[in-house]
Amino acid sequence: MRRIRVAVATGTLLAACATVPAGIPSAQAAAATPGFHVRDGRLLDANNKDFVMRGVNHAHAWYPSKTKQALKDIKAKGANTVRVVLGTGDQWTKNDTADVTRVVSQCKANRLICVLEAHDTTGYGEAGAAVPLSKAVDYWLSVKGALVGQEKYVLVNIGNEPYGNTQYAAWTKDTKKAISRLRSAGLDHTLMVDAPNWGQDWSFTMRDNAAGVLAADPDRNTVFDVHMYGVYDTPAEVSAYLNRFTAAKLPIVVGEFGHLHSDGNPDENAIMATAQSKGIGYLGWSWGGNGSGVEYLDLVQDFDARRLTGWGKRLFDGTNGIKATAKEASVFGGSRQQDLPTA
């Protein structure tokens, strides 16, 4: 099923977005990794504490003037993580080294783990202006100075939704190549890789090749990211997809999801409940600024934290929501450190 995409320009925001072999070794290099790392299918922080993302997406690339206050507000709502939209300069204005450095500093000041994502790859192969993952790698290498030394606080999400619903068979090869280039260039961060099919992986391309992608990472430090919109409109579909990863000890996060979408009605209750029971991270789309018919995905109105939308109330304050389940990363010295899930 296709995710509907709208162009972003001057104030309109893109509305984001077989059997897996078990027993993949995931921690050969973890001891030498200075920050976040993967072990036995779990994401651990620099203190070897289990970390489960609970947070939101923020469209810094299109609303940079809103970021400083947005990060403060997102933290005040209880989040422990923010996924930050960046432009590579291919479709959208490049967020350069100085800007990325500033964003990371602001995330740290607010005790938020920062997932940085390059958005210009969105829907490659189907969206005409999208660029391949190789261009996203070029971008990360160009801003390497903002990344190195931040491994305790930053995850690098290589490219947002790097294939649409065509040519997605190349996802595995291209993802392995992107990881290899980043590792060869000296990036030791936990890498996050998005699924094809506009992030929803209805073809199961990521699911069925995740083990091989993780094994191809010399650091064994890659997390997989599925975006759950209209394809995931029943509890059975949500649990079946996520359970395949957890059963195989492959790290998975729901990097985007919403309560409604133009391609169907995602089951946000099932997504949040399953994520909580399995100790899987989730990041809701998005803090604010959505347009072209998907304004309902805004968590707050007009970037005003005092004006939560219905979606915002559900995500932050509802059952299995951020306020009730988020625990701050131990690298910030907080008291609410994450325990390993029991279910």
* Angle of helix 310-317 versus helix 268-278 axis, rounded to 10: 20
User: Would you call 179 helix, strand, or coil by DSSP?
Assistant: helix
Contacting residues for 330 by C-beta, under 8 A, at least 6 apart: 45, 47, 49, 51, 337, 338
Catalytic annotation present for 268: no
318-335 CB burial, b ≥16 within 10 A, e <16: bebbbeebbbbbbbbeee
Annotated catalytic residue within 117, 126, 151, 161: 161
Nearest to 117 by CA among 103, 127, 105: 103
Length of the chain in residues, anyone? Answer: 343
Give me the residues paired with residue 37 across strands. 44
Dihedral angle computed from the Cα positions of residues 114, 120, 122 and 128, in that order, rounded to the nearest 10 degrees: 180
Inter-residue contact 211 to 248 (CB < 8 Å): yes
**Amino acid found at 219:** D
Cα gap 79→326, rounded to integer Å: 6
Cα gap 184→333, rounded to integer Å: 32
C-alpha dihedral sign at 95, 99, 105, 106: negative
Backbone angles phi, psi at 33, to 5 degrees: -80, 125
Dihedral angle computed from the Cα positions of residues 193, 121, 311 and 259, in that order, rounded to the nearest 10 degrees: -70
216-225 CB burial, b ≥16 within 10 A, e <16: bbebbbbbbb
Catalytic annotation present for 151: no
Annotated catalytic residue within 256, 268, 295, 328: 256
Please identify every residue annotated as catalytic. 161, 256
